[in-house]
Amino acid sequence: MTNRPPLDVRRLRQDFPLLAADPSLHYLDSAASSQTPVQVLEAMDNYYRHFRANVHRGMYRASETASVRFEEVRRKAADLIGAHEEEIVFTRGTTESLNVLAIALTRKLGPGDEVCLSALEHHANLVPWQMAAKVRGFALKVLPLDTEGRLDLEAARTLIGPRTKVVSVAHVSNVLGTIVPVQEVAALAHAQGALCVVDAAQSVGHLPIDVRRLEIDFLAFSGHKALGPTGTGVLWGRKSLLDGLEPVFYGGDMIQEVFWDRATWNETPWKFEAGTPDVGGIIGLGAACDYLRLVGVEVIRRHELELLAYALDKLRAVPGVKLLGPARAEERSGAISFSVAGVHPHDLATVLDTENVAIRAGHHCAMPLLRDLGLIEGTARASLHLYSVPEDIDALITGIAKAQKIFRV
Amino acid sequence: MTAEPIHDASEELYREQLLDRYREPQHRGRPERFDHSHRELNVTCGDTCEVFVRFDEGHVGEARFEGRGCAISMAAADLLMEAMVGKSATEISALTEADMLKILGVPVGPARLKCATLALKTLQKALLEQK
């Protein structure tokens, strides 16, 4: 596996319609949403053209084919993260997965209990817990960062205590790019009898993930950040834990038997999937998982790491640019946040757009983190994926110089 | 790399007049006297704008703003405050996004529309609130 050759990025870029159609486009916003390869589009198209039917209920061939293709995505997604297929719950994305967990895991919590989050969290791994805390009366604790934006494990050791029932952390920060040592966090949680939830929106497809090796309990990710279609996602949980949780959404497909005054639930994972799922989207997600596995996530990581080091070096050399997050590329993944003195991030993004460089500017749905960093006006963020090339970084550098010229800084 | 000519959209958007307003606003700062004020947040980026309006006999005598944001939102606020002097509350309430873009005088794409109209939104809400 580790001896696999480096990526043939030039060839692989031809799989991505937007990049193939416009070779001058420098797409540096994969942390917001990745591009989608034709293999994914074809898988979805195939469903809509050849076996477009609902799943799990039709007694005819199209529905049977749809059900088989839909169900086999559980194995594809499971293989990508080292899980078992019956542990894969399909959702609309990381946000929905985390909302489900924040409700389902806190039903029995109350005053005196605590849930710990890291200071890196995206709003999607903060607000659902805040709301649950309001309803149930438990307390939220925030695990702090060190000066480089890394999780302070020593502080975490003291904050995660006997009152802690759940520790929910991002695997990779969507703002700072920091890789959080989730295995250590999970060990701290388990030592106190707490569960460990991982928001893997920024890591699936970028870092090799094996949920058994990480010894975590739940994991959430989105299809659209991992080469799949928008509106698809996964909630993974250990089978025994999912079995013990009550569903959050109710309706068709998730039930076993219904009476006028009560109902019983379907088995895991279906009891968490109320209503007709995004069949075409999930089939597309399966193709995305295949694509990532075929290319090899370790190979992708090696490519991104090389490019990340190149980008950090280049950006560091630009006067007025301040980089956020860990200094060492090895401690980071995909996202590179920075500020340019005298140029507001939005203005920078607009100028870069005229150079056909697509970046993200703003608070990246992590307002508390940016407030902590004293950067409430936001940051500029460039982010990578397997199709990113050094020319994208060069164009970014050129665009920054242009913005500095316009703003005379 | 694209081989675009020097003349491009960013040069049109960031005209000198607009950048001057951003660097050296003429109507910035909280005044001592005002009748209406309101503070608004641009949720997409965290930019803030606060406006203060004083009426003299039914017409704006002075309008000023405070805030933090990008060149577009801050220049728009400064130009809007200037354009409001002499206007009635009814006239201000009737202003549209198109009017705001006319005052700003540069082409603004959909991605920056919220920046360009933050001050107008703030001003119109201010009129609904007493000091």
Domain boundary, last residue among A244, A276, A294: A294
Handedness of CA A4, A7, A8, A14 (dihedral sign): positive
For residue A32, which residues of chain B lie inside 8 Å, CB to CB?
A: none
CA A116/CA A109 separation, integer angstroms: 13
pLDDT of A287: 98
Q: Count the domains in chain B.
A: 1
Parent domain of A192: 41-294
Is the CB of A406 less than 8 angstroms away from the CB of B68?
Answer: no
Q: How far is A24 from chain B (nearest CA, A)?
A: 6
pLDDT tens digits for range A243-272: 999 999 999 999 999 999 999 999 999 999
Residues A225 and A235 in one domain: yes
In the predicted structure, residue A318 carries a pLDDT above the cut 60: yes
Percent of chain B exceeding pLDDT 90 equals 71
Residues A90 and A188 in one domain: yes
Residues A72 and A175 in one domain: yes
Domain boundary, last residue among A274, A294, A314: A294
**ipTM for the predicted complex:** 0.84
- Looking up residue A117, the CATH number of its domain turns out to be 3.40.640.10
Residues A289 and A319 in one domain: no
In a domain, B16, yes or no: no
Phi and psi at A74, nearest 5°, equal: -60, -40
pLDDT of B9: 66
Parent domain of B52: 34-126
* Residue in A344, A353, A356 nearest the CB of B71: A344
pLDDT of B41: 87
Scored b (16 or more CB within 10 A) or e, A174-198 reads bbbbbbbbbeebbebbbeeebbbbb
Residues A127 and A221 in one domain: yes
Helix (H, G, I), strand (E, B) or coil at A276: coil
pLDDT of B43: 75
CA B103/CA B80 separation, integer angstroms: 7
Residues A258 and A393 in one domain: no
* Residue in A354, A356, A362 nearest the CB of B44: A362
Q: Quick one: closest CA in B to A360, which residue?
A: B45
Cβ contacts of residue A267 below 8 Å, gap of 6+? Answer: A256
Q: How far is A240 from chain B (nearest CA, A)?
A: 40
In a domain, A3, yes or no: no
For residue A363, which residues of chain B lie inside 8 Å, CB to CB?
A: 45-46
Strands A218-222 and A195-199: parallel
Q: By the 8 A CB rule, do A240 and A267 touch?
A: no
Residues A354 and A272 in one domain: no
pLDDT of B1: 41
- Looking up residue B89, the CATH number of its domain turns out to be 3.90.1010.10
Residue whose structure tokens are 């591009």? A35
Cβ contacts of residue A69 below 8 Å, gap of 6+? Answer: A47, A51, A283, A286
Is the CB of A351 less than 8 angstroms away from the CB of B14?
Answer: yes
pLDDT tens digits for range A2-23: 567 788 999 999 999 999 999 9
Task: Name the H helices within A193-250.
Answer: 211-214, 239-244
A123 interface with B at CB cutoff 8 Å: no
In a domain, B95, yes or no: yes
In a domain, B28, yes or no: no
Residues A275 and A402 in one domain: no
pLDDT confidence tier of residue A226, bands split at 50, 70 and 90: very high
pLDDT of A220: 98
Q: Would residue A196 show up in a list of annotated catalytic residues for this protein?
A: no
pLDDT confidence tier of residue B107, bands split at 50, 70 and 90: confident
Q: Count the domains in chain A.
A: 2
Q: By the 8 A CB rule, do A123 and A149 touch?
A: no
- Looking up residue A327, the CATH number of its domain turns out to be 3.90.1150.10
Cis peptide before A111 (omega within 30 of 0): no
For residue B4, which residues of chain A lie inside 8 Å, CB to CB?
A: 354-355
Q: Hey, how many other C-beta atoms are within 10 angstroms of the C-beta on A317?
A: 9
Is the CB of B45 less than 8 angstroms away from the CB of A356?
Answer: no
CA A114/CA B115 separation, integer angstroms: 39
Percent of chain A exceeding pLDDT 90 equals 94
Domain boundary, last residue among A294, A315, A334: A294
In a domain, B17, yes or no: no
In the predicted structure, residue B56 carries a pLDDT above the cut 50: yes
Residues A104 and A249 in one domain: yes
pLDDT tens digits for range B6-42: 456 677 788 888 999 999 999 999 999 999 999 998 8
pLDDT confidence tier of residue A131, bands split at 50, 70 and 90: very high
pLDDT tens digits for range A175-215: 999 999 999 999 999 999 999 999 999 999 999 999 999 99
pLDDT tens digits for range A48-101: 999 999 998 888 999 999 999 999 999 999 999 999 999 999 999 999 999 999
pLDDT of B2: 43
A22, A127, A337, A354: best mutation site toward chain B, by most B Cβ within 10 Å?
A354
In a domain, B68, yes or no: yes
Is the CB of B71 less than 8 angstroms away from the CB of A407?
Answer: yes
pLDDT tens digits for range A364-403: 999 899 999 988 889 999 999 999 999 999 999 999 999 9
The encoded tokens of residue B28 equal 């910035």
pLDDT tens digits for range B115-131: 999 999 999 999 998 76
In a domain, B110, yes or no: yes
Residue whose structure tokens are 């980026």? B45
Report how many helices (DSSP H) and strands (DSSP E) chain B contains, helices first.
6, 3
Q: Quick one: closest CA in B to A363, which residue?
A: B45
Residues A26 and A130 in one domain: no
Alpha-carbon distances, residue A102 vs A96, A98, A140, A182, A364 (angstroms): 10, 6, 12, 18, 21
Residues A250 and A311 in one domain: no
* Mean pLDDT for the stretch of residues A17-42: 97
Residues A274 and A339 in one domain: no
pLDDT confidence tier of residue A108, bands split at 50, 70 and 90: very high
Q: Quick one: closest CA in A to B16, which residue?
A: A406
Q: By the 8 A CB rule, do A346 and B45 touch?
A: yes
By residue count, chain B amounts to 131
pLDDT of B6: 45
pLDDT of B5: 45
The encoded tokens of residue A106 equal 């806190």
Q: By the 8 A CB rule, do A39 and A287 touch?
A: yes
Chain B residues whose C-beta is within 8 A of a chain A C-beta are 1-2, 4, 8-11, 13-14, 19, 44-47, 68-72, 109, 111-112, 115
pLDDT confidence tier of residue B3, bands split at 50, 70 and 90: very low
In a domain, B91, yes or no: yes
* Residue in A378, A391, A407 nearest the CB of B45: A378
In a domain, A386, yes or no: yes
Q: What is the DSSP letter of A373?
A: T
pLDDT tens digits for range B69-91: 999 999 999 999 999 999 999 99
pLDDT of B129: 81
In a domain, B39, yes or no: yes
Is the CB of A406 less than 8 angstroms away from the CB of B14?
Answer: yes
